[in-house]
DNA sequence: TCCCTTGAAGTTGTCGTACAACCCTGGTCG
DNA sequence: CGACCAGGGTTGTACGACAACTTCAAGGGA
C-alpha cells in the first residue's frame, strides 16, 4: 500500500501511516455513498488482501471509523456503515480552507451564531460573567498596548460570551469555530498599509461595546454590536484578500 | 479490564468493546485537561499495564483518538495530545440528549443558523433551488395527506434550503443538526390531546411561507418565517414535555 | 410441511510475539 | 564545542493463536 495522499503536514508528524491512509480511504467511500448506510463493509481478510496490509492496520482503521461514527461493528458478523451517518460530527478542517470564499463562508456561519449568542448572553448574564468578560478585556487592552495581537485573549473573550449563554452547545460551538477563525485575524493586523494597531484598538472598542450591552441586559444592542464587530472583520478580510488573492 | 456493562440494547450492537471503552476514557482525560496540549501520553506498554489490556487494544484506541484529532503520534517518540484540540470536531450525541433543557438548547442553536440560512437563501436562490424546494414541499403535502409524518421530507427541505445558501458550511451544519432535531418532532405529532394532523398542516403552511419568501428574494421575510416556524416547534416541544417530563 | 436444534464455517475481539523504523540521550572523539 | 555513534526506548506493521460471537444449512421431530 503506497501512501499517495498528501501528508497531513501536522506538526511533528512525518507522514500518514498505513492506518490513517486506510481510514481516510474507507471514510471517503462511505461519505461518497459508495457504501450506503446499513451495508456491510468487506471482511477484514478481504480488506487485507485488497489493500495489501496486515490485519492490524485494518483493525486500527476500523476502530478509527467506529470512533468517527461512520461504522458499527458486530462481533462475528461484520462492520456495517452506520445507520445514521448524519450523526457524524460536524467538522471544519482549518488547513482545508484553501480559498477566500471558504474562509468567508465559515465566517458567515460563525457570525450568525455569535450574534445570537450575544443576545442570549445579555439575557442570561450574571455578575460573575460580566466580571470575567471585563477581566479578559482589560488583559487584552494591556496586551495590545504592549504590541501583542492578543489572539488568545480574543478567543477567550468569545468563549466567555459563549459560556454566558448558559447553553453548552453555543459555548462549545463558538469555541470550535472561533478556534478556526480568530487566529486568521492576524493577517488583518499585519496589514501595514492600513495599520494594524488602529484596527486592534477598534477591535477592543467593539469588544467593550459588546460587553456593555450584555452587562446592560440589552439583547438587541448586544446582537447589533456583535454583528458590527464581526461584519467589519469579515469585510476587512474580504477587502484585504481581494488585493492579495494568495492569502486565504 | 472486565466488560461489565449491560448487554447491548443498541440495534445490532452487542456492547462496547475494550477498544471503544479505552478510547472514551482517554478522550475524557484529554478533554478534561488532565493531559494538556503537547503533553506526551503514557507509552503503549504503560497503558497496557494501567488498563490491563493488550497492545492491540491500546493501539486501536490511539488510532481512534488520532482520527478524532485528539492526539498525534510520532514513531519512536510517543503519542502527544494534539496542539490544537480546538480542532476537534463539533459533536452532539443524539443519544446523549437526556434532559429537556439539552434538547431545547440544541434547538436554540439550530434556530439561529436556520434563520440566517433562510435569509442567505433568499439572496442566493436560483430557479432550480426554488423548484427543488417546491417539489419536496409537494411530496410532503402528499405524505401528510396519507397520514405519514414526513420526517425525512422535512429534513430534505431544510437540507435544500441549506444548499441554496451556496455556503457548504451552512448546508453541512444544517444537515448535521437537523438530523438530531427533526426526528424529535414526532412527539409533537403524536400528541393526541392537541391533535397531530393539524400541527402537520401548520408545519406545511409554514414551510410554504418560507419557500415563498425565499422565492421572492425577501431575506427579512424569509428569516421571520423561519424563526416563526422553528420557535413554534420549540415552544410546542417545551409545553409538551413540561407535562410529560419523562420524554426528552 | 414447518419449526426447532445443532454443528460447522465464517467473522470480529483480544492476546502475544517478532522485527522494522524511528527517536532520544549520553558518551566519545576531533 | 560540535558532530557522530551506540544503546535503549518507543511506535508501526506483520503474523499466529484462540475466544466469542454470528450465520446458515442440515437433520430430526411434531
Give chain B's count of helices (H) and strands (E): 10, 2
pLDDT of residue B175: 87
pLDDT of residue B89: 77
Q: Which nucleotides of C are covered by protein (CB under 7 A)?
A: 10-17, 21-24
pLDDT of residue A12: 36
Nearest-angstrom CA–CA distance, B95 and B3: 21
Nearest-angstrom CA–CA distance, B47 and B56: 11
B66 touches chain A (CB under 8 A): yes
Determine the residue of chain B that is closest to A172 in CA distance: B90
- Residues B151-172 have a mean pLDDT of 91
A151-164 and A127-145 helices, crossing angle to 10°: 170
What count of Cα atoms within 13 Å lies in the side-chain half-sphere of residue B71? 26
pLDDT of residue A106: 92
Which cell goes with A222?
448586544
- Residues B209-229 have a mean pLDDT of 95
B172 touches chain A (CB under 8 A): yes
Which of B130, B153, B129 lies closest to B140 in space, CA to CA? B153
Tell me: pLDDT of B2 over 50: no
pLDDT of residue B147: 80
B151 touches chain A (CB under 8 A): no
What's the first-to-final CA gap in chain B, in angstroms?
33
Q: How confident is the model at residue B196 (pLDDT cuts 50, 70, 90)?
A: low
Longest alpha-carbon distance in chain A: 66
Determine whether B146 is exposed, middle or buried from the number of CB atoms within 10 Å of its CB (0-12, 13-18, 19+): exposed
- Residue B47: count other Cβ atoms within 10 Å of its Cβ: 21
What count of Cα atoms within 13 Å lies in the side-chain half-sphere of residue A133? 27
Q: Å from A77 (CA) to C5 (C1')?
A: 21
Chain A environment of B23 (Cβ under 8 Å):
63, 67
Candidate from B60, B91, B93 with C-beta closest to A59 = B60
List, in order of start, the domains of chain B with CATH numbers. Answer: 18-87 (1.10.10.10), 94-243 (1.20.120.530)
- Residues B223-236 have a mean pLDDT of 93
Candidate from B66, B75, B105 with C-beta closest to A14 = B75
B151-164 and B100-124 helices, crossing angle to 10°: 50
pLDDT of residue B10: 33
Which of B133, B111, B120 lies closest to B227 in space, CA to CA? B111
Secondary structure class of B65 (helix, strand, coil): helix
B115 touches chain A (CB under 8 A): yes
* Reported ipTM: 0.70
Most confident listed range (A197-201, B120-124, B150-154): B120-124
pLDDT of residue B87: 61
Q: In A 164-203, which Cβ lie closer than 7 Å to strand D?
A: none
Could A116 and B112 be called an inter-chain contact, meaning their C-beta atoms sit closer than 8 Å?
yes
Q: Please, which residues bridge with residue A78 across strands?
A: A74
Nearest-angstrom CA–CA distance, B174 and A144: 37
| Residue B112 CA: distances (Å) to CA of A232, B8, B226 | 20, 37, 10
Q: How confident is the model at residue B11 (pLDDT cuts 50, 70, 90)?
A: very low
Most confident listed range (A12-21, B111-120, B152-161): B111-120
A55 touches strand D (CB under 7 A): yes
Tell me: pLDDT of B18 over 70: yes
B179 touches chain A (CB under 8 A): yes
Q: Please, which residues bridge with residue B81 across strands?
A: B71
pLDDT of residue B13: 41
pLDDT of residue B244: 63
pLDDT of residue B21: 93
Tens digit of pLDDT per residue, chain A (248 long)? 433 222 233 333 446 899 999 999 999 888 777 888 889 999 999 999 999 999 999 999 999 999 888 899 999 999 999 866 556 778 787 666 778 888 899 999 999 999 999 999 999 999 999 999 999 999 999 988 887 878 888 888 999 999 999 998 999 899 889 888 887 777 666 655 555 677 888 889 999 999 999 999 999 999 999 999 999 988 888 887 776 655 55
* C-alpha dihedral sign at B218, B223, B224, B228: positive
pLDDT of residue B195: 54
pLDDT of residue A173: 92
Nearest-angstrom CA–CA distance, A15 and B136: 45
Helices (H), A32-126: 44-51, 55-67, 100-124
Nearest-angstrom CA–CA distance, A63 and A65: 5
Amino acid at each position: 500500500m503506497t501512501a499517495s495522499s498528501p501528508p497531513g503536514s501536522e506538526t511533528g508528524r512525518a507522514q500518514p501511516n498505513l492506518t490513517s491512509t486506510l481510514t481516510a480511504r474507507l471514510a471517503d467511500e462511505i461519505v461518497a455513498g459508495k457504501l450506503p448506510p446499513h451495508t456491510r463493509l468487506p471482511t477484514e481478510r478481504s480488506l487485507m488482501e485488497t489493500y495489501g496490509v496486515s490485519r492490524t492496520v485494518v483493525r486500527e482503521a476500523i476502530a478509527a471509523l467506529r470512533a468517527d461514527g461512520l461504522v458499527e461493528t458486530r462481533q462475528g458478523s461484520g462492520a456495517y456503515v452506520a445507520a445514521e451517518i448524519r450523526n457524524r460530527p460536524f467538522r471544519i478542517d482549518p488547513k482545508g480552507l484553501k480559498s477566500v470564499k471558504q474562509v468567508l463562508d465559515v465566517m458567515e456561519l460563525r457570525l450568525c451564531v455569535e450574534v445570537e449568542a450575544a443576545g442570549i448572553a445579555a439575557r442570561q448574564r450574571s455578575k460573575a460573567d460580566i466580571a470575567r468578560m471585563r477581566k479578559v478585556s482589560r488583559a487584552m487592552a494591556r496586551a495590545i498596548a504592549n504590541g501583542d495581537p492578543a489572539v488568545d485573549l480574543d478567543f477567550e473573550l468569545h468563549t466567555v460570551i459563549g459560556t454566558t449563554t448558559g447553553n453548552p452547545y453555543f459555548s462549545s460551538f463558538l469555541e470550535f469555530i472561533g478556534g478556526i477563525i480568530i487566529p486568521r485575524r492576524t493577517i488583518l493586523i499585519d496589514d501595514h498599509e492600513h495599520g494594524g494597531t488602529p484596527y486592534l484598538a477598534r477591535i477592543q472598542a467593539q469588544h467593550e461595546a459588546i460587553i456593555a450591552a450584555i452587562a446592560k441586559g440589552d439583547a438587541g444592542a448586544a446582537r447589533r454590536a456583535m454583528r458590527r464587530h464581526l461584519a467589519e472583520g469579515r469585510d476587512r478580510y474580504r477587502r484585504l484578500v481581494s488585493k492579495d488573492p494568495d492569502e486565504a
